[in-house]
Amino acid sequence: MNENESSENLRRQILDLVRRYHTAAFPTRPFTPGESALACAGRVFDDEELVHLVDSSLDFWLTTGRFAEQFEREFAARFGVRHALLVNSGSSANLVALSCLTSPKLGERRLRAGDEVITVAAGFPTTVNPIIQNHLVPVFVDVQIPTYNIDPTQLEPALSSRTRAIMIAHTLGNPFDLNAVTAFAREHNLWLIEDCCDAVGSTYDGKNVGTFGDLATVSFYPAHHITMGEGGAVLTDRPRLKTLVESFRDWGRDCWCAPGMDNTCGKRFDWQLGELPPGYDHKYIYSHIGYNLKLTDMQAAVGVAQLAKLDGFVAARRDNFRRLRNGLTGLEEFLVLPEATPGSDPSWFGFPLAVRPGAPFTRRELVNFLNGRKIATRLVFAGNLLRQPAYVEIEHRTIGDLANTDFVMNQALWVGVYPGLSAAMIDSMIASLEDFCREAVHG
């Protein structure tokens, strides 16, 4: 047996032990209503993720490598786009997606300081932060209830001579009105970035979200549809944008060689850019003020195993949402129940609820009750970003009074529908909400 055969045999033995370890370390635990914790979200995995993770670690290739290449190829195919570019988080995906649109290589269409980007304040901070970080001006429009997505009737009032882009998320996996938004973007020659961090697997008009805009972003945080622990990706059909995303992700360099590769362009020492001397090494020419936002191949290895389970995860989320929605129809006197955007089929990230202003209880009372039953809740992210301390002094414009955004801030919450929740767990949620409303009415 030669040295390579010996190492491969050892690898097989190690991976067999990893499978045995998973069985011992992560047994299925019984569910007891009122005693077992019901999380809003969490990782769902089996031995394949551990095997992939250890297999990658045995390569000791610590940056992006074979698993990253496989994931990018398979994820792009799953979404139906040409390019998927891995980064180290969904927040980084948003940052490089918007930042790449500031590139001088885009000519007259580049975003410049002071340009405006239409967005919403009822969402997660990192959809808006890249606008501010790139010295652009967010223009906030209101959302609609009960979809919790952008009100497209406010797009036209938001338009100005400085408007250059739209950057919004599909809230809790529910697609925004892509017909209206894409038509508006085309009419006014605006860039469109779809934040799909909560919406992997959601469709609109039979097409995957993330395929409508110029760029799209996803997250692989443990709470999301599939996980790498940390991680994210930028999606695009446009080769030019793909190259710009890579540049901003990879230190701002002009070179597009993969890690460990040299001279992909065939003229590594024949470039002349900027005021550098002719023949300066292309691997060390920088066209943008960039970052290092790559992820490790070990993270990508977990993602490859997770991606094989995505269709099942999406089906479970839809089933759990449907069961919860049907079970709560009798409580609509007190609670605003969510509705999918017409023409969409969401891969729900969570189940949003809002306490009606005339209900005999407050959101805080409902949250405390559910927490007492060990049913985790979350608010709809930042509520109204403009009420948050970090955003009090930012330059911005608002359209109207953002009344629905304040309603989200004051009245809304969400509970989980992720694949780790069984039918019995969903039924326990329903029973708990029924108990609470009954006690609130009858004392």
The residues that are catalytic are 224
User: Whole-angstrom distance between the N-terminal and C-terminal Cα of the chain?
Assistant: 77
> SS3 sequence, 354-413?
EECCCCCCCHHHHHHHHHHCCECCECCCCCCHHHCHHHCCCCCEECCCCHHHHHHHHHEE
Those residues whose C-beta lies under 8 Å from the C-beta of residue 209, and which sit 6 or more positions away, are 170, 175, 178, 194, 196, 199, 202, 203, 216
Burial of 394 (0-12, 13-18, 19+ CB in 10 A): middle
In residues, how long is the chain?
Answer: 443
CB-hemisphere CA count at 13 Å for 110? Answer: 15
Q: Which of 270, 291, 290, 267 is nearest to 280 (CA)?
A: 270
Tell me whether strands 232-236 and 215-219 are parallel, antiparallel or unpaired: antiparallel
Angle between helices 66-79 and 297-307 (to 10 degrees): 40
At CA 29, angle to CA 27 and CA 30, rounded to 5? 150
